[in-house]
Every structure is written in C-alpha cells, then in structure tokens.
Structure 1
Amino acid sequence: MASRSTLLKLTFVVAMVLAVVVLPPPADAAISCSQVLGYLRPCIGYVTGSVPGKVPPAVCCTGIKSLNSAAKVTPDRQAVCRCLKQLANGFGSGPVNRAGAVPGKCGVNIPFKISLSTDCSKVR
C-alpha cells in the first residue's frame, strides 16, 4: 500500500496535468496606451506642426516601425487603434490628418486608417 506522502504527490501531479489540459491558455495581453505613447512620442512635434518639414523625423519613423513590429496580433492592433483614437481626440483635424499620413511617409503599412471614425473592433 502506498504511503500517504506518495498519494499526496500523485494527487498533486494529476491535478497539475488536468489544469494544463483543461484550463484555457491566458489571453494575450494587449499593448498599453503608455507603451504606444512611448513609441510615438518622437512623432508628436511633427504631427502638431511644432517640428516643421514635409517628412517625419527619422526617430519618429523608427518609433512607428517598432510599434508596428510589436503589434503583430489582433488584440495588440486593436489596442493601438483605440489608443491612437484617444490621443487624436485631444487634437484638431489638422494634426489627426497629419498623423494619418505618418506611417505611409515612413514606409510602414499599418492595417487601419488613423482617423476618429475608424472602428477599432474591426481591425485585424
């Protein structure tokens, strides 16, 4: 007959195996708005017009490329979209239009339009 200690260990192992098999995997954590802002902070001067020029600064494009690389799954892309909409609400239409053109000027193809009318739930 097995000892009490052996039975407890066996029960623990069986419970752990069942937990791994039965429980769903944790949901992917979405990128936070503070992370998005961190990537895009170098673009703010260009978008608001306080940094003149026809093209965004190189450091802005680096941030856009890095953010695009970080947001590879749908929850991350939707979180980025929602954050950009929140940030855009604080500016007029001029900066929002200028922000919408930044990815293209940086050679980055993002899967949604930067606009107050974008439905972020449809971003994939």
Structure 2
Amino acid sequence: MAHFLVPLCLILLISIQYVLSAPSCQTVTSQLSPCLPYIRNDSGNKGGNSPTVPCCTGVNNIYKLQKSKGDRVVICNCLKTVLINLGNMVIPSRVSELPKKCGVSYNMPPIDKNYDCNK
C-alpha cells in the first residue's frame, strides 16, 4: 500500500504546483491595465500611437508567465473576457499588435468574443 501512496502523493504535489503556478486573470488584468489608454477607442484617447513603458512592462511580464499551452489558454480567456466587457471601447488591432509594439517576440492572435482560446 505504501508503494502506491508515494507516487500518488508526488502526482498530487506536482498537480497542485502546476495549478498554483498558472497565471490568474487578476494578474493578467493588473499587468495589462496600463495598456487601456492605448487600446481604447474613444475621442479623448490619450494613448497615442505607441503603448507606454508601464504597458510594455506588463506585456513582457505576461509573456514570461506563458510557460505552457494551459497558461496561454488561461491568459487568452482572461483577455477575451476583459475585451468582451469593454465592448466597442477597444480597437481590436491595437490589442493584437501590443507584443510587436512592445518588442516582445510573440504573435498574439486577434482575440474577440468568438475566438476559441483552446486552439
């Protein structure tokens, strides 16, 4: 019986560590909140043509959190929820170009309400 419990405990510990290390939606939104002025679509947009340094720092931090496909799915679903809640206030092309504008070598898909984050 003890021979069975040791591997089971190890699997459980590894699973818990994976779940705890996955990025939370709160982390994603707080890291990317400085990007809102850049991606917003309103007449008073002070975002200009380039994202700010704090925005790019957040984009880079989120990029570093993507250690697995599961992490990318969590981040994508979080972004999808935020973008749906912001509705027409967002310029979608600015969202997908954030990594490039910030010098991060990651191609962000054009996420919208119909995008399947599991792909």
Shorter-chain TM-score: which interval? 0.7 to 0.9
Which whole-Å CA distance do the structure 2 matches of 1:56 and 1:101 have between them?
A: 10
Instruction: Name the CA shift for 1:111/1:104 in 2 (closer, same or farther; >3 Å).
Output: closer
Q: Which runs of 4+ in 1 moved over 4 A?
A: none
Which whole-Å CA distance do the structure 2 matches of 1:36 and 1:52 have between them?
A: 20
Q: CA deviation at 1:95?
A: 2.2
Residue from 95, 106, 116 that aligns with 1:119: 116
Which whole-Å CA distance do the structure 2 matches of 1:20 and 1:74 have between them?
A: 28
Residue from 26, 39, 55 that aligns with 1:34: 26
CA contact (8 A) 1:81 1:114 kept: no
Instruction: Name the CA shift for 1:75/1:111 in 2 (closer, same or farther; >3 Å).
Output: farther
Show structure 2 runs of 5+ residues with no match: none
The alignment's C-alpha RMSD in Å is 2.2
Q: Percent identity?
A: 30
Q: CA deviation at 1:87?
A: 0.8
Residue from 17, 32, 36 that aligns with 1:44: 36
Which whole-Å CA distance do the structure 1 matches of 2:82 and 2:28 have between them?
A: 10
CA contact (8 A) 2:99 2:108 kept: no
Q: Which moved more, 1:72-81 or 1:25-34?
A: 25-34
Residue from 66, 76, 83 that aligns with 1:81: 76
Q: CA deviation at 1:75?
A: 1.2
Normalised TM-score (structure 2) = 0.77
Normalised TM-score (structure 1) = 0.74
Report what 2:100 is aligned to.
104
